[in-house]
Amino acid sequence: MAAVKKMSLSNITTGKQKAALKLVMHAIPGVGKSTFAANMPKPIFLCAEDGTKQLDVGRFPTPKSYDEVIEALGVLKTESHDFKTLALDTLDWLEPLVLARVCVDQGKASIEDIPYGKGPLYALDKWRYILMLLDDLHRDKGMNIVALSHSSIRKMDDPATGSFDRYQMRMNQKAADLWMDWAYAVLFARHEVFSVEKKGKSHGVSSGERVMHTTWSAAFDAKNRFGLPETMPLSWSELERAINSEDEKVATLRAEVEKLVPELPVAEQEKARKALNDWAKNDPAKLSELQGRISAKLALATQPELGENHV
């Protein structure tokens, strides 16, 4: 009997799929990144930070090695539990454990002893293995993953604009790039500060608010796949509401378009469905435009003297 092909046209799916989140948040110390993670659904912390002592959350014993980190991830993968979120607090705490494991593998006393500066490159394989295990938890257990990191100010040399300072994750840049590529959203959290001119000098004034930035700027690393506002309050409930409101808007618009399509002449229904699935997809603006075009077409159907219009 011939094997059934998994990669076949009959198995193709379309439309936006609801999934758990993969987040990275970097922040200045004390802004509340651990509290943010603690407010996510049923969190379990894997950490060596003191930031969770005052939080009513589950936490693993503090790992003393890379292998213990891997062991903890394996426990979450293979044992039954009701945790919905894994918080790694923090990546810059975890990095020395990763580097120490590389040193053991290479038979060296320190990462600087590895020839040609390749220690951090060897570490990328360790990071990739952690990310693979996190993807297993995300896919098979439906867990949200939030990786927390402190921020540091680093100088960036841009050939087009010259040098300038910006906030980045406090870890090796190549490792940070791996985490940023993996995440659905990279958030930068800070106290909201404004620059005020007084007697010819600039002074920083805090509004007292804590905010998170969701898109890249020259001042910090950030990104998101959800069409979020560029700046939001530092709040899990605000982030959840913003993500879900986008999902709900897309779902509502698609449902409205799908309801209108059967009312079109049979010859035009296939064209409308193609526009829905191949053009509009999950873009709210395009879905709204398509809905308007189909509605206009149906309205004109009762006024043939005005001529034909096309979806």
Burial class (CB in 10 A: 0-12, 13-18, 19+), 55: middle
Question: For residues 280 and 158, which has the higher predicted lDDT (pLDDT)?
Answer: 280
* pLDDT confidence tier of residue 162, bands split at 50, 70 and 90: confident
So what's the pLDDT on residue 310?
44
Mean pLDDT of 113-136: 95
% the chain with pLDDT above 70: 86
Alpha helices (H) along the chain: 33-38, 66-78, 91-106, 119-140, 173-182, 236-260, 266-274, 284-300
Give the model's pLDDT for residue 198. Answer: 61
Indicate if the pLDDT at residue 307 is higher than 50: no
Q: What's the rounded Cα separation, in Å, for the pair 171 and 111?
A: 14
Q: What average pLDDT does this structure show over 6-34?
A: 79
Helix (H) or strand (E) holding 202: strand 201-213
Q: Return the SS3 of 196.
A: strand
Please say if the pLDDT value at position 95 is more than 90.
yes
Q: Give yes or no for a contact between 68 and 94, defined as CB atoms under 8 angstroms apart.
A: no
Q: Looking at residue 308, what is its pLDDT?
A: 46
pLDDT(309) > 60:
no
Q: Do 39 and 236 touch, CB atoms closer than 8 A?
A: yes
| 203 φψ region: left (φ > 0), alpha (ψ -120 to 50), beta (else) | beta
Q: How far apart are CA 59 and CA 43, in angstroms?
A: 8
pTM: 0.75
Residue 184: the pLDDT is 95
Mean pLDDT of 75-99: 96
Find, among 150, 64, 131, 70, the residue nearest to 100 by Cα: 64
- The least confident of 119-123, 151-155, 249-253 is 249-253
DSSP secondary structure string for all residues of 30-85: TSSHHHHHHTSSSEEEEE--STTTTS--EEPPPP-SHHHHHHHHHHHHHS-----E
Give me the pLDDT at residue 68, please: 97
Residue 295 tokens, joined: 């509605």
What is the longest distance spanned by two Cα atoms in the chain?
A: 86
- Residue 172's pLDDT is 95
Share of the chain above pLDDT 90, in %: 59
Confirm if 215 and 223 have CB atoms less than 8 A apart: yes
| Average pLDDT over all residues of the chain | 87
Band of pLDDT at residue 199, cut at 50, 70 and 90: low
Higher pLDDT, 244 or 213: 213
N- to C-terminal Cα distance for the chain?
A: 45
**Model confidence band, residue 197 (pLDDT cutoffs 50, 70, 90):** low
Q: What is the pLDDT of residue 220?
A: 92
Does the pLDDT value for residue 153 go beyond 50?
yes
* C-alpha dist (Å) from residue 235 to 1, 15, 32, 36, 181: 55, 28, 9, 6, 23
Give the pLDDT of residue 7: 76
Q: How confident is the model at residue 71 (pLDDT cuts 50, 70, 90)?
A: very high
Higher per-residue confidence, 59 vs 2: 59
pLDDT digits (tens, 9 = 90+) for 28-60: 888 999 999 999 999 999 986 666 778 889 999
Distance between CA atoms of residues 233 and 53, nearest Å: 24
Tokens of 135: 């993807």
How far is C-alpha 55 from the chain's CA centre?
Answer: 24
Please indicate whether residue 205 or residue 41 has the higher confidence score (pLDDT): 41
Q: Are 230 and 215 in contact (CB under 8 A)?
A: yes
